[in-house]
Chains A and B, each alone.
Chain A
Amino acid sequence: MASTLGQKDTYMPKRPTTWQRFKRTMRKNPVTALGLFIVASLIFIAIFAPWLAPYDPYATDPRISLEPPSRAHPFGTDTFGSDVLSRVIYGARLDLMIAFGAVGIALVVGCLLGAIAGYWEGMLAEIIMRIVELLQAFPAFILALAIAGALGASFRNLIIAIAMTNIPIYAHLMRISILSNKQHDYSMAAVSLGASPMRVLFKHLLPNSLAPIFIQSTLQPGYAILTAAGLSFIGLGVKIPEPEWGLMVAMGSPRIISGDWWVSLFPGLFIIIAVMGFNLIGDGLQDIFDPQRR
């Protein structure tokens, strides 16, 4: 790789740039690279949806209802005559927003709770961790179902419901991380230099506890998409005519028995691709950071 820099006669090897290190890591871990490529493509599709989609995803036309894939409509049309391809493209926007939104909220709330519980051991920590354990006592999908059912079906409530099921894992990871980092000399040093607890926690402990959180955060959006799609499928997520992948599969499901496969097939394929993308990144990172696990 050094040859690309055009420095043949130097004896001192230059320190590789971040980009070079990244490229090398990716070459060694093609699976992670594939995952990154998938997720990056989906984000691209989501951002540029209005330019990529050939039709308006909300436009309906009863004359072309349930047309099989053709040159004009590569993924066919659904019951309302909407173009499935355009809806799938816009779906990337909605599903990624739900996934990143839910995981983002869970990350912030869960890490804060975990950090507090790890730093100030005592009554408060007990209460926080008991609540977190309580959330884990429910099967994840059923907890999300109960919360979404109670709050009512909407985009916002879907995000809240999924975020709630993701909070425990972050709280646990953060707490364990803080507990072990607290014992390190650097933290003791900060304390003995008179740093305030807030400063020790946010300046010293939090930044050093982020690696496992980061790895987990690459896995969670995939599960969030699956949960979101499942909840929308049973009517507890976003509502028709929003182009959400799970909802689109649901809209096609009554037509499967009569052979109209394309309405459900394509949005489902995108769910798989998206979830797989996140899973591949997460698995790969776990291998990179912890080769023992392989």
Chain B
Amino acid sequence: MNLFIYILKRLLLLIPLLFGVTLVVFILTRVVIAGNPIDQIVPPMASQEMRDQLAKRYGLTDPILVQYGKYMLNLVRGDLGVSFRSGLPVTQEIIKFFPATFELTTYAMLLALLVGIPLGVASAVWRDTWIDHVSRFLSVSGISMPVFWFSLLLIYFFFFKLHIAPAPLGRMNPRISTPDFVTGWLTIDALVSGNFRAFRSAVANLTLPTIALAYGAMAPIARMARSGMVDVLSTDYIRTARAQGLRRRTVIFKYALKNALLPVVTMTAIVYGFLLGGSVLVENIFAWPGLGRYAYDAIASADYTAIQGFVLYATTMYILLFLITDLLYKFLNPRIEF
């Protein structure tokens, strides 16, 4: 019951935070904004009359407080406004582009965890040996490397030089028919419909952008796993376990690992935020039809409702994930009481 109240409290605390976030985004896209958004949609020769009409239609002539009120009312109803560029509701567009990004970032996250955790643990267990040095070098280079540059490098080697990877042009070979929409994840949809050619193509196209995103995300995970493991290995209960003559493997996997990985849980939300930011860069390079590319196109054409929609969506996602990992951390760590 206590737990239930705790979760409820945390959810209630989200409301002022999300409210603040919408306020910041509103100020940025309606008050601070350089230039008049109307300039972006009318032809340069448009008459003043036409401009006024459009400004009125988009509610840009209202007092700022009225604009804010309308914006909030619409937001509560899930309405992010109409894209200046396409004339379609931004909410609808985000729903359309969401699965491609969700699929890419999730695979990247999984890959980062699968590589980062063993790397960090190995680094801690064989501390100050060559394994540690190599793994630390890998993680320093991972955080130091611009993700867009790494993407280009991957394309150069695996597409241009070695001809192993497909051209960086979207989620699938366009000559293969796309599987019917089930989840929006092409890999899953293809498997469900038994279309193995589509599955292979989807996996092939996913590989490079996933690696590109995962390399940067792997670094903080490996670091966290390493420092968590180092801390745990120096505790009394591990020393006791060793002193009792337990096998090294048992000590590490049965006793140390669980506690060492706790901090990694909290790290995943931050890493996911990094992946959302990185997707803007990576999707643009791989012509990936997801939200990152949507945001990039919106920036290029100064489509402010779309940018605003993307920022709100990404931040809400980030905040929710933060909450989930935080709760998960508390569930997994019996030392914390509610």
Contact = CB atoms under 8 A, between A and B. Distances in A.
Interface of A: 130, 133-135, 137-142, 145-147, 149-152, 222, 226, 229-230, 233-236, 246, 249-250, 252-253, 256-259, 261, 264-265, 268, 271-272, 275-276, 279-280, 283, 293-294
Contacts of B145: 271-272, 275
A74 to B, nearest CB: 19
B160 interface: yes
B307 interface: yes
Contact of A138 (B21, B147, B304): B21
A276 B137 CA distance: 10
B148 A249 contact: yes
Interface string B270-310: 00011011101100110000000001100110001001000
A151 B156 contact: no
Contact of B295 (A145, A229, A259, A271): A145
A249 B152 contact: yes
B5 interface: no
Nearest to A293: B227
A279 B311 contact: no
Given A257-B159, A275-B144, A142 B314 contact: yes
B332 interface: no
B155 interface: yes
B318 A134 contact: no
Contact of A276 (B144, B227, B311, B318): B144
A137 B148 contact: no
Contact of A275 (B143, B148, B276, B300): B143
Interface string B152-173: 1101100111000001100000
Given A137-B318, A259-B156, A271 B20 contact: no
A265 B153 CA distance: 8
Interface stretch (B23-31, B89-97, B203-211): B23-31
B318 A139 contact: yes
B140 A257 contact: no
A268 B315 contact: no
A252 B296 CA distance: 18
A268 B143 CA distance: 13
B296 A150 contact: no
A146 B307 contact: yes
A130 B20 contact: yes
Interface residues of B, number: 51
6 contacts: A133-B17, A146-B25, A147-B28, A149-B28, A226-B144, A294-B230
A151 B277 contact: no
A268 B21 contact: no
B277 A257 contact: no
A265 B146 CA distance: 11
Given A229-B146, A257-B167, A139 B277 contact: yes
A235 B25 contact: no
Contacts of A294: 230
A257 B160 CA distance: 6
A142 B311 contact: yes
Contacts of B20: 130, 134, 137
A222 B32 CA distance: 28
Contacts of A257: 155, 159-160, 167-168
B149 interface: yes
B238 interface: no
A235 B299 contact: yes
A152 B34 contact: yes
B141 interface: yes
Contacts of A150: 28-29, 32-34
A280 B140 CA distance: 8
A138 B33 contact: no
Contacts of B24: 134-135, 138
A140 B307 CA distance: 15
B35 interface: yes
A68 B315 CA distance: 43
B319 interface: yes
Contacts of A134: 17, 20-21, 24
A194 B71 CA distance: 52
A279 B143 contact: yes
Contact of B146 (A259, A261, A271, A279): A271
B232 to A, nearest CB: 14
